[in-house]
Homo-oligomer: A and B are copies of this chain.
Amino acid sequence: MYNQEELKNLVDKAIINLSYNSEARKLIDPVEYILSIGGKRIRPVLALMACNLFSDKVDEAIMPSTGIEVFHNFTLVHDDIMDQAPLRRNFPTVHNKWNINQAVLSGDVMAFIANDCFLQTPVRCLSKVFRVFNNAAIEVCVGQQLDIDFEKAIIVSQEEYVRMIELKTAVLLAASVKIGAIIGDASDKDSDLLYEFGRNLGLAFQIQDDLLDTYGDVKVFGKTPGGDIISNKKTFLLVKAFEIASGKQRKQLQDLIAMKEFDPEIKVSKVIEIYNQLNIRNITENLANEYINTSFMLLEKIGVVTERKKELTLLASSLIGRDK
């Protein structure tokens, strides 16, 4: 059994060893840049751990797992264009360091570099693995579109919001563990259980991420809470607050969102005051816990001995803050 660090090292090594068509350095520089500025390689490590549940030959899963990471970074490069984000992981975004055209084109080539990684999947499961990946890739695009649509929408329901984060975030985690399971020659039942495990884990992770941005401890969270409130980001908290607010509270929230000039600290504390009146923190924690409990229940059902699930359980726990 490999642990998280060992698997991350395997992925990092595979990323460093990716070979590129070197005729246009300008195309590849941003690719190497975005792949080099960190990230925890959560998705490929999840894929390798899922493979390792069933098989000791995790090397068979390294290239497709790397493909997942390349694809994920492709989405970051293009999402950052759409969000006009200046920073990613505390480094300048690609379109900021270069320009939008370069970010479009270097992003594009990453989609095909990801394909190239997937084409190195063992032939016995190439078609199956590629389909799982590609369906997830299409869903991630749909999720990004819904996210854009929702930023402009006045009211978004909890159901719509959860579906959006499911598509934008959860399905790629789900596909990652399913891909690992398929390469590990898991049964269809176990592969599907892992997909559902990953989907629930992804939903819990994203909802907790929303929660932490408002209620997180700066020491644990690593950045000052409130960023989402200041930027009017449509988080689960805001969506839920709008859904259950009284007429008066809704008006207060709308006014706070509409403010052009404001003291950030005051805006954050006023929004949190409304959240507190509406018990948003508890509601959000309860929903995240539901997804967490479902994911661990699904993990238990998978047909390998508990000892074998240790690393995946540890990583899942750390992702949703159960290890602290």
Contacts and interface: CB of A to CB of B under 8 A. Distances in A.
Interface of A: 21, 23-24, 26-27, 78, 81-82, 100-101, 104-105, 107-109, 111-113, 115-116, 119, 123, 126-127, 130-131, 134, 137-139, 141-142, 144-146, 148-149, 163, 167
A113 B131 CA distance: 11
Nearest to A128: B119
Given A115-B130, A115-B137, A127-B119, A23 B108 contact: no
A146 B24 contact: yes
Given A100-B100, A116-B134, A141 B78 contact: no
Contacts of A27: 141-142, 145
Contacts of A134: 112, 115-116, 119
Which 4 pairs, one residue from A and one from B, show the smallest C-beta to C-beta distance?
Answer: A24-B145, A27-B145, A109-B141, A82-B101
A138 B126 contact: no
Given A23-B146, A104-B78, A146-B23, A130 B119 contact: yes
B138 A116 contact: yes
Contacts of A167: 23
How many chain copies does the complex carry? 2
Contacts of A119: 127, 130-131, 134
14 contacts: A21-B138, A23-B142, A26-B149, A27-B142, A78-B104, A81-B100, A81-B101, A100-B100, A101-B148, A105-B141, A112-B137, A119-B127, A119-B130, A119-B131
Contacts of A113: 138
Contact of A145 (B105, B123, B146): B105
A5 B83 CA distance: 44
A113 B107 CA distance: 17
A109 B126 contact: no
Contacts of A81: 100-101, 104
A163 B23 CA distance: 10
A23 B142 CA distance: 7
